[in-house]
Structure formats: structure tokens, C-alpha cells
Amino acid sequence: MNARLSEVFLAFAGPECRETSPLYCSLTEAIATDEELLLIAGQAPAGQPVPNLLFAAVHYLLVADPTHPLAEYYATCTTEPKDPTQAFPAFKDFVLNHQREIIELLQTRLVQTNEVRRCAFLFPAFMHALRHFDPQPLALLEIGCSAGLNLLWDRYRYEYDESGKEYGDRDSPTLITSEFLGKRSAGLEDSLPLVTQRIGVDLHPIDVSLPAEVNWLRALIWPEQFWRRNLLEAAIQQQQEVELDLRTGDGFAEVSSIAAEIPADTLLCIYHTHVANQISREKGQAFLEAVRELGRHRDLLHLFNNLYDAHLRLQVYRGGILTRETLANTDGHGRWLEWLA
């Protein structure tokens, strides 16, 4: 048995999975001790979060043809799902009967969860960061952009409690709710910036005009989490009304060449969330050195997590001087943030 992969699945069944997806929590614990399924899951490429990828592949195929008994346990296939603790036999049967298709998805698809609710911490982070600079046009550069939905963080509206107080673009059709644990960040009510460029780079950017691509995004969302699906649908609709520059490539390796395209009078805003854990330490260090070199010659900000740890961190380069801030602890799905700055 693949002990390392077994541990990966057991870790996936941690507090977040247990709280928000009883189905995946139960399945994960069973997969961790099943040699046949671990062998199939092990076909995923190095660097990918294997549990997420396996579950998305199964979900993608099941929703397309919900006639298998496994569908009776998925909230995306039935309004009254069965007890999730009894789902594993049907899950294993489905995987073994769709082994070829699942392995193909594992080897050709990526975990590209376009978690729109993460904008609930991107918005306050950017509004705080922009206080370091005079008002000026922004060029957004998101690395690991998936479908580019988080390039629209300034186009959504936000609520952080039940008072009805809204922030961001109050005319937006897309409402994102979250919660500050403790104090709030400064700048939430500042004027929204002028964004003149929205560049997203991904190894496999998702084109939301293609039904199969949208279905993959949907499959990445855990079955019980209807609020994530509803937010995804709203953001996809809004994305089609905004001009985005989505590119196929390695943003970590190409940051310098992309930055060279940005006018000098425009503030370059580089950001990436929940993606740097998929690159090597050496590649991460090379990327940071490239950002440092850019910061010697132009003003920019760099917002990120998962390079050093899970904290949301900010690097501000102004006049060649680097300022670092640890901004927040954040929930991976954007349900809450704890502001630290």
C-alpha cells in the first residue's frame, strides 16, 4: 500500500472536510485504507492535490450520467442524499467501473478550483495595500487564475456580518458573504481603484464559454456546498461581461516578461492564493527573486499565501524599498478571515 498517499487522504479528512462535506470525509477515510483505489489515485501527476483531483474526476463523470447507485449519495444528483457513511461500496464500484476515464481525467486535468469566495479576503487585502500608494491605475496579474473569476475582486459586493452593510461594488449582481474574526481591516470603504488590465496566467486556463470546462469547475466543488455552486454561477455570468486577458503559461516563471508589458504609470499587482504549494521550493525562491528585481525598478505589490505558510502576506515595493506585512489568517473557502495587520 502507498503509505504516503494514504496519509495524504487521511490529512484531507481534517476539520474543514469534516465540517463541510461529510460525504468526502467518510469516503476519504475509507480510500486511505484501500489499496486498489490508492493505486488508481496514484496516477495523478506530482504536485497535484490528489484527493481533490480524484473526487472531482468522479463527480464530473457522475453528474454527466447519474444512473449509478453512487448518485444517491451526492447532493448534486438528488435532493435527498443517503447516509454518507454508507457511500463507500458504491463509490469504489463506480471508480473501478470507470477506471479508464478516471485515470484519463487524473492525468489531463488540474485542480483549478476557482474559489470566488476567496475574494472576501482579497478585497480587504487589496484595499489595505493600496493605502501605501497614491491613487493610480492598476494592472492585476493573477498566477494560477483558473477561469479568472478572482480577477474581478473589485467588481463584487461584500457583506461581513448580518447588519446589511455592503462594501465593494454595491451595484454588483454578485454578493459574497464572509466574516471577520475580531478586528476589521482599514480601507474597506475607500474608493474603488481603476483597474485597466486584468491578466491571468494558468497552466490550463478555463474557458467558461465551453460547457465541458464549466462542468469541470462545478465538479471541483464539494457536493453538499450549494452556496459555492451558486456563487460560481453568478461569477461566471459576470465574468463574461468583463474583458480579461487569460493566458496559458507558468506565471511563476514568466512574471518578469509579463511585467515588462505593464506601463510604468500603472501599479502592478501580482497575486496568487492556494497555488504556490504546488511548486518546488527552488522555483518559489526564483520567483521571489524575480519579484525583488522588478521591485528595484518599479512600484508593485505582491499578495500571496502558501509560499512560506498559510498566512495571507503582502510585499509592497515603493521607490525600491520593500515593506512586508502579514495580513491575515484565512479560511481556504473564504468563509472567514482573521485580520492581523
Element (H, E) at 28: helix 22-31
- Retrieve residue 137's grid coordinates: 491605475
Lookup: cell for 55:
473526487
What DSSP state is assigned to residue 74?
-
In the chain, domain spans: 3-108, 116-207+217-339
- Cβ atoms of 153 and 119 within 8 Å: the answer is yes
The closest alpha carbon to 172, from 190, 188, 189, 153, belongs to 153
What is the pTM for the complete model shown?
A: 0.86
**What does the block give as the cell for 32?**
486511505
* Phi, psi angles (nearest 5°) of residue 189: -105, 10
Whether the predicted pLDDT of 308 surpasses 90: no
pLDDT tens string 282-305? 999 999 999 999 999 999 999 999
pLDDT, average across residues 139-153: 97
Render pLDDT for 179-189 as a digit per residue (tens, 0 to 9): 999 999 999 99
User: Which residue(s) pair with 329 in the sheet?
Assistant: 338
Question: How much is the pLDDT for 104?
Answer: 97
How many CB atoms lie under 10 A from the CB of residue 308?
Answer: 12
Residues 173 and 235: their CA atoms lie apart, in Å, by 9
Pairing of strands 337-339, 321-330: antiparallel
Please identify, in words, the CATH class of the domain defined by 116-207+217-339: alpha beta
pLDDT at 51 over 90: yes
Q: What is the pLDDT of residue 317?
A: 98
Give 246: exposed, middle or buried? Use CB within 10 Å, 0-12, 13-18, 19+. buried
Q: Write the secondary structure of 119-140 as one string of H (helix), E (strand) and C (coil).
A: HHHHHHHHHHHHHHCCCCCEEE
76-125: pLDDT as tens digits: 999 999 999 999 999 999 999 999 999 999 999 988 888 999 999 999 99
Residue 1 has pLDDT above 80, yes or no: no
Please write down the long-range contacts of 233-239, taking CB distance under 8 Å and 24 or more positions apart: 234/173, 234/174, 234/175, 235/114, 235/116, 235/149, 235/152, 235/156, 235/174, 236/147, 236/149, 236/208, 237/173, 238/152, 238/155, 238/156, 238/172, 238/173, 238/174, 239/147, 239/148, 239/149, 239/152, 239/208
Read off the pLDDT of residues 18-44 as tens digits, 9 standing for 90 and up: 888 999 999 999 999 999 999 999 999
